[in-house]
Amino acid sequence: MDGASVDVKELARRNRQAIFNQIGDSSVVLVAAQPHHVFYCSGYKSMGFDTSWLLKMAVVFVADDWILVGPKADLWSAAETVGKDLRYFCYGNFFFDDQELRERKGTNVVEFATFDEAVSAAVAQLAGGRHKLGIDSVDGASHTLVSAQGLQLIDARATAAFFRDARSVKNPLEISLLRSASDLTEVALGNALRDAKAGMTEYELAARISAEMISQGGLPGFVVVTSGERSALADAYPTRRRIGANDIVRIDVGATFGGYWSDTARTAFVGEPGKDVLSAFAATSMGHRKASDMVAPGMTTDALFHEAVAAVRQGGLPQYKRHHVGHGLGIESHEYPTIAASNPVTLLEGMVVNIEAPYYRPGWGGMMSEDTFLVTATGAEALTRLDRGLFVIPA
């Protein structure tokens, strides 16, 4: 399935069901108020979250019903995304000349003065004999209001785990969106590497990648283009520095498509790479390849980590150290599980993980390859297929 054809309402329904599958109890009312969870449970992503960390929204839901709570300004954007089935409890002041449209469309909207009042009313409407409440964020005012409904509050850590575990295993609609995000990112990255020339600035290379992402329906999330000694900067914005002969060029980019992320990295060299560059790249590639080949259901994240680091050391960088060699990917660019030495997690079919073994040496440079894998019933499918070798840019 092409990610562009995904039904947003069905996507959100499956995501909400995944959370209840983790809980195993239909007598619970859930409140999702973290920005990523609002999207996960409703299919609607407010641009307001990009402009103000003070924005408040929530999805109040039970196993078979839900209400979206948000500012009045988001009403028609949410209606455009969700469609006629939207129930919207809005708060705050915003002025639309929309009375005729509300009547014609039969819009199900209820207005409140504050966010907390709207959330409390949504909980009261959906509670219907249920006696437990789970909230994904710590907000004292909201807790006080919804607890007034006489519901037993589930431990916050347990609620967080329900959301985390549900998100970690992707349904087919999510996989379609992740696949589309990876595809468009690889096209953008591949075209930029093909067209890159000595004398270009980091800004110019980043602009080409970003424009290509947008032209394919993606939204650039991070575009790391670093060259020369700057390639050792872990996550840094591009600059006006011109790419020149004997530069390492490290590119790590991610975009969203339909709210789901890509995350891909490649390394290039301007001119003929020397032995030190080739040796370091070969070592990191060994670690990357070792971990990539091990991705499968039943594999543990700590085992992946130790094998990847050992492979890099054996490959020619005996001093190599890392805090992780990958992470989950979904509605966030870095999510559960983290592929690290501690807190081991067993990979499950349907998880989507990134594998990387970057190397940073300040004063010299840095390099990395990063790829995305879907854990399948028998192993793994690479969602990224761009050549994993060292790219060469003519000097």
Q: Are 306 and 294 in contact (CB under 8 A)?
A: no
Residue 217 is predicted with a pLDDT of: 97
Residue 84 is predicted with a pLDDT of: 86
pTM, two decimal places: 0.96
Q: Report the C-alpha gap between 368 and 360 in whole angstroms.
A: 9
Class of domain 3-168: alpha beta
Q: Which amino acid is at 249?
A: V
What is the dotted CATH code of the domain comprising 172-393?
3.90.230.10
Average pLDDT over residues 201-225: 98
Question: What percent of the chain is predicted at pLDDT more than 90?
Answer: 91
> Long-range contact list for 69-72, CB < 8 A, 24+ apart?
69/115, 69/118, 69/119, 69/122, 70/38, 70/46, 72/96, 72/111
Average pLDDT over residues 247-261: 99
Identify the bridge partners of residue 220 per DSSP, sorted by sequence position.
255
Residue 13 is predicted with a pLDDT of: 98
The least confident of 68-77, 97-106, 146-155, 346-355 is: 146-155
- DSSP code at position 18: H
In the chain, domain spans: 3-168, 172-393
Residue 25 is predicted with a pLDDT of: 93
Average pLDDT over residues 189-204: 98
The per-residue pLDDT for range 20-75, each reduced to its tens digit, is: 999 999 999 999 999 999 999 999 999 999 999 899 999 999 999 999 999 999 99
- Cα dihedral 159, 164, 165, 170, rounded to 10, equals 140
CB atoms within 10 A of CB 210: 20
Bridge-based pairing of strands 28-32 and 132-135 is parallel
Residue 221 is predicted with a pLDDT of: 98
Average pLDDT over residues 188-205: 98
The per-residue pLDDT for range 357-375, each reduced to its tens digit, is: 999 999 999 999 999 999 9
Identify the bridge partners of residue 34 per DSSP, sorted by sequence position.
none
User: Over the chain, what is the mean pLDDT?
Assistant: 95
